[in-house]
């Protein structure tokens, strides 16, 4: 599967689960059991992809820059998320519409992964 394949899988399932959860399951009358089954899957794929970053980012940099490079990648993502949080918080649309408008970012993630370097089975750069 490799790093890239795992990231594509996580992004694709996260996209589908976001649509399913916020379009079909977060409506009045939805079975609590159905939500209890769907939410862990949603959480696993939307948040689980971040575990792969801890392995992938350091593999991109030579030893002398490994900590700095990985830290930069992690924190730029956090900075972008904080900016988006405040931007989307100000929009006067429903929570469902906010979630659905963010779902395509998972598709953008798949496109970005296409251009990323595969590091599976490669020596770490010195």
Q: Between 95-102 and 66-90, two packed helices, what is the crossing angle to 10 degrees?
A: 140
| Centroid of chain to Cα 120 | 20
Domain count, the chain: 1
d(CA 47, CA 123): 28
Q: What is the mean pLDDT of each run of 10 residues along the chain (126 residues)?
A: 92 95 86 92 93 89 91 89 77 76 90 91 80
> Which of 42, 50, 40 is CA-nearest to residue 99?
42
Residue 122 maps to a domain: no
The verdict on residue 10 lying in a domain is yes
Decide if 126 is inside a domain. no
Which secondary-structure segment (H or E) carries 53?
A: helix 32-59
7 within some domain: yes
The pLDDT assigned to 108 comes to 94
Question: Per the structure block, which two tokens stand in for 124?
Answer: 């770490």
Q: Is residue 121 part of a domain?
A: no
Distances in Å between the alpha carbon of 49 and those of 26, 79, 110?
A: 23, 18, 12
Global pTM reads 0.82
Range of the domain at 58: 2-115
Residue 90 maps to a domain: yes
């Amino acid at each position: 599967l490799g790093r890239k394949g795992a990231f594509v899988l996580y992004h694709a399932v996260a996209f589908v689960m976001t649509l399913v959860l916020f379009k079909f399951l977060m409506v009045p009358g939805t079975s609590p059991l159905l939500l209890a089954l769907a939410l862990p899957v949603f959480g696993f794929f939307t948040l689980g992809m971040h575990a792969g970053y801890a392995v992938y980012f350091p593999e991109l940099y030579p030893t002398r820059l490994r900590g700095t490079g990985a830290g930069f990648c992690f924190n730029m993502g956090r900075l972008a998320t904080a900016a988006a949080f405040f931007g989307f918080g100000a929009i006067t649309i429903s929570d469902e519409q906010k979630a659905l408008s963010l779902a395509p970012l998972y598709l953008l993630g798949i496109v970005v992964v296409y251009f990323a370097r595969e590091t599976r089975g490669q020596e770490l750069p010195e």
